[in-house]
Amino acid sequence: MSTPDDPDALRAEVRGWLAQHHSADLDRREWLSAVVDRGYAVPRWPADAFGLGLPDELARVVEEEFRRADAPGSGQDRLNLWAGTVLAYGSADMRARFLRPLLLGELNMCLLYSEPGAGSDLAGVRTRAVRDGDGFLVDGQKVWTSHAAQADYGMLVARTDPGVPKHEGISFFFLPMHQDGVQVRPLRQMTGERHFNEVFLTGARVPAANMLGEPGQGWRVLQTALAYERVMLGETNRGASTRSAKQGSGDADLVELARSRGKFDDPVLRQDIARVLMLRQVNRWNGRRADSELAAGTSSPLVSLGKLVMSRLLHETGRVQSAIAGPEAMLEGEGNPEGDDANFAAMNAFFTSIGGGTDQIQRNIIGERVLGLPKEPDPYRGVAFEDVPRSG
């Protein structure tokens, strides 16, 4: 498949293809299938992985034209963490089984990372995966798992060798969720939502063919998966910042909100709104910088900057919304829509401060891997995981 290497020619080609093929009333699966087959879903990936092998500059042209046409499906090479991780570390068999269904959105997925005793320090996971014939038996508990009840597979980090240092004894799997050994219990958030869950694994079985990377290579695989997740969190703000956004209207327009309340002439409020708009622009620039350093199978510490900026952006947005709403920000419910939105924005901001690695973890990564500051001391570095003292 020939693709122009000139940005203007490529833009014209993509625009023409969209004009010919895109329609708002198209079946979503039919549309995504056409996008994947044309290579526009993952334009940076090679042809044997449904891509076009384009450099980032040209891939951005494809994404821009899709956004202009309000057409979904492009940019998955940056934002589809499930498919990206399979491309980077999955076997040829796994790629054949999972890549296309993941790009088409046919498989529901969840992340089986955090545990009650291993949240910020994922290398401390205690969930065990023990070899049993052509698979592994998994026992343990995961927590804060989004959409676990609907998931077909969970991306699982589990300890396969406790006799080596903690980072070396972890493996990474695609665990089938629809089996007797998996129990999902919902967790209620302070926003009233219930899309987080705790997951109990009791003799759950995962085929050895569903391991990504080699045994004990799970920490490396996890870093790539986390990089994709942080790009997604940093750029798209997974989890709406307001109730109206959750219902599909996007981030609240603070400028119009301030004008509607007669507060746009307040110089302090205008400065606060400008700060939010500045953070949005910085986040876009940082996303492009991180993308330029990312390649399949790698991670960049720059994505932690984007994740941290998005967290700051959501907290600032919630604070400014509350200031605009005034006393109504103390109210919630359908009878007080602006106050309800402000409350939701303020509470939901903590989702990004915690999910995908806490703000504190991002600062550690930035300090050590971007600024070159000394690492924090670890008295148990090099000690077998089973010999590390633990409480409880």
Q: Which of 115, 198, 229, 338 is catalytic?
A: 229
Residue that wins the pLDDT comparison between 262 and 249: 262
Q: What are phi and psi for residue 194, nearest 5 degrees? A: -140, 45
| pLDDT of the residue at 299 | 58
Residue 296 has pLDDT above 60, yes or no: no
Q: Which domains does the chain have, with CATH numbers?
A: 7-79 (no CATH), 109-218 (2.40.110.10), 237-370 (1.20.140.10)
| pLDDT of the residue at 234 | 59
pTM of the model: 0.79
- What span, in angstroms and rounded, lies between the C-alpha atoms of 381 and 119? 19
Taking the CA atoms of 217, 218, 222 and 223 in sequence, report the sign of the dihedral they define: negative
- What span, in angstroms and rounded, lies between the C-alpha atoms of 228 and 294? 9
Residue that wins the pLDDT comparison between 192 and 342: 342
Q: How far is CA 199 from CA 34, 162, 191, 196, 224, in A?
A: 36, 22, 21, 10, 23
Answer yes or no: 293 catalytic.
Answer: no
Work out the pLDDT band at 251, boundaries 50, 70, 90. Answer: very low
- What span, in angstroms and rounded, lies between the C-alpha atoms of 301 and 77? 18
| pLDDT of the residue at 31 | 96
The mean predicted confidence, pLDDT, of the chain is 87
Give the residue from 164, 166, 158 showing the smallest Cα distance to 213.
158
Query: What integer is the mean pLDDT of 380-385?
Result: 87
Question: How large a percentage of the chain has pLDDT more than 90?
Answer: 54
Amino acid at 244: S
> Helix, strand, or coil here: 70?
coil
- What span, in angstroms and rounded, lies between the C-alpha atoms of 38 and 34? 6
Query: What integer is the mean pLDDT of 181-190?
Result: 90
Work out the pLDDT band at 247, boundaries 50, 70, 90. Answer: very low
Give the residue from 182, 291, 315 showing the smallest Cα distance to 227.
291
Give the residue from 143, 204, 196 showing the smallest Cα distance to 176.
204
Structure confidence by residue, pLDDT tens digits, 126-150: 999 999 999 999 999 999 898 999 9
Residue 9 has pLDDT above 90, yes or no: yes
Worst-scoring range by mean pLDDT, 6-15, 306-315, 347-356?
A: 347-356
Work out the pLDDT band at 241, boundaries 50, 70, 90. Answer: very low
Quickly count helices (H) and strands (E) in the chain. Answer: 13, 8
